[in-house]
A and B are shown apart, each in its own frame.
With several copies, the nearest count.
Chain A
Amino acid sequence: MNKPAAKSLPWRALAWPSAFGIAMLALWYAAVLWGGLPEYQLPAPHRVVAEGLNEAPTLWSGLLQTLYACVLGFTASVAGGLLLSILLASSNWAYQGIYPYVLMLKMMPIIVLAPIIIIWFGQGIASITVITFLICFFPIVANTTMGLRSIDRDLAALFQVYAATPAQSLLHLRIPAALPYFFTGLKVAAALTPIGALYGDTVAGMGSGSQAGLGFVVVIFSSQLKVPALYAAAFTACAIGFLFVGLVNLLSWWALRRWHESYLGEEA
């Protein structure tokens, strides 16, 4: 009763988000009109749009730069996260021995790691990618590892009976079975990607001209209290996030629609 329509890409599904979007916009206007908040606190939506258009060249070049960092960082997170998960799920000693240090890496404040990262990778896109990776990879690792370790016992027995090699088990059993977890982690990582890239930008980015990403733009707008433009920049960053989440959703739909409960209608 609460499953999305099976098998067809839910273009219709744009109806609900749009309805909610309009409601949120109305609420926003109401808050601006009657909330008595000054523009530097809560700018009206049309002001955000206007300032966004006004700053369009800056936003556009920031968007391109950050998008580039996001693509690299997300790709690195997916590849690195997947490999790490496979390593972690490959044996008990790897899991018990390595997982704590993966966790520690994740929990190290970036502010502590940043100097080391920049010394190793130099200022700019490489370091931003590393920082984005550090922020994004863990959800993928945690989810995929859990997925890889949650294999149905009977299916595992089947592969044992057919003397499947570890690589075969991985490829034909564990990875397909872990996909629902993997995609969930991927979705979290995708949502973190613009945040990671923005943060990386403010820590390790280049702030001049075409090399300034949205992180830089956001900090500058913020420090100059250009609040409508700041919101415009933030929404621009969100747009990148939606792009990634959308891609992940598409991929997930494509891979799971035929068999996983989350995509099946109630029948059959």
Chain B
Amino acid sequence: GSGPATEPAAGPAANGPAKAVLQTDWYAQPEHGGFYQALAKGFYAEEGLDVEIRPGANMNAIPQMVALGRVDFALGAMDSLVIQRARGIPLVSLFPYFQHDPQCVLFHPQSGIKRLEDLDGREVMFQPGMIYTDFLQRAMGLDLKLLPMDWSLARFTNDESFVQQCFLTSEPVVLRRQGFDPGVIPMSESGFDPYRHVYANDELVATQPEMVAGFIRASIRGWRDFMNGDPTPAFGLIMQNNPQQSVALMEDTLAQMKRHSLTEGDVEAGEALGQVNLMRVRRLVQQLDDIGLLDRPVTAQEIIALSVLPASLVVGASHGPG
């Protein structure tokens, strides 16, 4: 430390708050609420962090930006990270902020779809490269005629047989406001059930474990506060970043998030906010390996940043550090 010796150089406060960038996976929306809440209420600052939340629609460059340290943290689905890890890209999962991926199938009730198996032989508009697609096709043997996702609802509203991917909390809300009553089935019902998580690169975890741990603590605190407390501070920041959000819309979304218990998962089954179950992770790895998406086998220990994750949040450790 080159700072004045009046303070112990241990804390990040020695050189002012540590800067950190969180790259989200879309424009600002309540699905990122916990992070905005943590920012708005100063939870990050309390951990000595100066966090910038950076929205964007550019999904494809984000893992590379994290791997190269251009941003510190990013949001994503754990299945992608497993595949990337297997490809030798040094990314690790920090903690899940959604216990189950809110990725769903959206359809009109008239289409007669009741289960994911009913998609067999149909045209579906999915984001190309979404790993669910491979699972549905290869593990479940469904015959899907894939259309690339265009991030619009125009065709859905025009065609009663149209089926597309959606985010549990987004498109259905928009559609209900337009007077539709769409059917929704979470993709995780397929049995392929990745977490939605925050990830970083190996180097950051290795060199600044304190900062990362602080970020995790503050984020989880933010999420807890956002889901159970008053979401207004986060709403304020979100609207400031994305004028297209309105309080009403955000409340609808939040209600959906609560209804589906996105952050806490199935509490009765022992799931909790921020918790990672290594059994689930192993199953996920196994499933990915079974459908041939892994270049090499990877272990749960490689994928999860156990060194910075509070032990209380890790379950299912059959061996290795707890």
Task: Write the chain B residue with the least CB distance to A58.
Answer: B243
Cα–Cα distance between A65 and B126 once the two chains are bound (Å):
20
For window 230-245 of B, CB contacts with A under 8 Å fall at: 240-244
Among A114, A205, A221, A225, the residue within 8 A (CB) of B178 is: A225
Q: Is B278 at the interface (CB under 8 A from chain A)?
A: no
B147 touches A123 (CB 8 A): yes
A223:B89 contact, CB within 8 angstroms: no
Which residue on A lies nearest to B127, using beta carbons? A223
Which residues on the A side are within 8 Å of B57 (C-beta)?
Answer: 202-203, 205, 207, 216, 219
Known contacts A40-B154, A207-B147; A225 and B87 CB within 8 A of each other: yes
Q: A219-B128, A220-B244, A221-B244 are in contact. Are A207 and B56 (CB under 8 A)?
A: yes
Q: Which residue of A lies closest to B63 (CB)?
A: A225
Query: A40-B87, A119-B68, A209-B240 known; A222 and B28 CB under 8 Å?
Result: no
Asked whether any CB of chain B lies closer than 8 Å to the CB of A165, the reply is no
From known contacts A202-B148, A225-B157, infer whether A115 and B60 are also in contact, taking CB-CB under 8 Å. yes
Contact B87 A219 (CB under 8 A): no
Say how far B194's CB is from chain A's closest CB, in angstroms: 14
Residue pair A40, B89 in contact (C-beta under 8 Å): yes
Interface string of A220-235 (1 = CB under 8 A from B): 1111111100000000
Chain B residue total in the interface (Cβ 8 A) = 53
Chain B contacts of A227 at CB under 8 A?
154
Give the nearest-CB partner of B53 in chain A.
A208
Which residues on the A side are within 8 Å of B150 (C-beta)?
111, 114-115, 203, 222
Instruction: Say yes or no: A38 contacts B244, CB within 8 Å.
Output: no
Whole-angstrom distance between the alpha carbons of A116 and B128 in the complex?
21
Residues in B with CB closer than 8 Å to A219 are 27, 57, 60, 128-129, 148, 151
B145-171 interface code vs A (CB 8 A; 1 in, 0 out)? 111101111110110000000000011
Q: Within 8 Å CB of B87, what residues of A?
A: 40, 225-226
Most buried by B among A203, A212, A223: A223
Q: Which of A39, A204, A209, A225 makes the CB contact (< 8 A) with B153?
A: A225
Contact status B27-A225, CB under 8 Å:
no
Contact B67 A220 (CB under 8 A): no
Q: A38, A114, A219, A220 — which one has the most chain B CB atoms within 10 A of its CB?
A: A220
| Cβ contact within 8 Å between B174 and A207 | no
Residue from A38, A40, A206 in contact with B146 in the complex, judged by beta carbons closer than 8 Å:
A206
**A223 contacts which chain B residues (CB < 8 A)?**
59-60, 80, 127-130, 151-153, 170-171, 174
State whether the Cβ of B320 lies closer than 8 Å to any Cβ in chain A.
no
Interface string of A176-216 (1 = CB under 8 A from B): 00000000000000000000000001111111110010011
Whether A40 lies near B170 (C-beta < 8 A) is no
Q: Which residues of B contact A203 (CB under 8 A)?
A: 57-58, 148, 150
Give the docked Cα–Cα distance between A119 and B241 (Å). 23
CA of A204 to CA of B56, assembled, Å: 7
List residues of chain A with CB within 8 A of the CB of B293: 224
Across the interface, B242 reaches (CB within 8 A) one of A57, A201, A204, A208, namely: A208
Determine if B307 is an interface residue (Cβ-Cβ < 8 Å): no
Q: Are B67 and A38 in contact (CB under 8 A)?
A: yes
Interface 0/1 of A6-41, CB less than 8 Å to B: 000000000000000000000000000000001111
Task: List B residues at the A interface (Cβ < 8 Å).
Answer: 26-28, 54-61, 63-65, 67-68, 70, 80, 83-84, 87-89, 123, 126-130, 144-148, 150-155, 157-158, 170-171, 174-175, 178, 240-244, 293
12 A-B pairs besides A205-B147, A222-B152 with CB distance below 8 A are: A115-B60, A115-B61, A115-B152, A118-B58, A118-B70, A201-B148, A206-B123, A207-B28, A207-B56, A207-B128, A208-B241, A224-B80
Closest 8 CB pairs of A and B: A223-B129, A115-B154, A207-B146, A208-B241, A115-B61, A207-B27, A219-B128, A222-B152
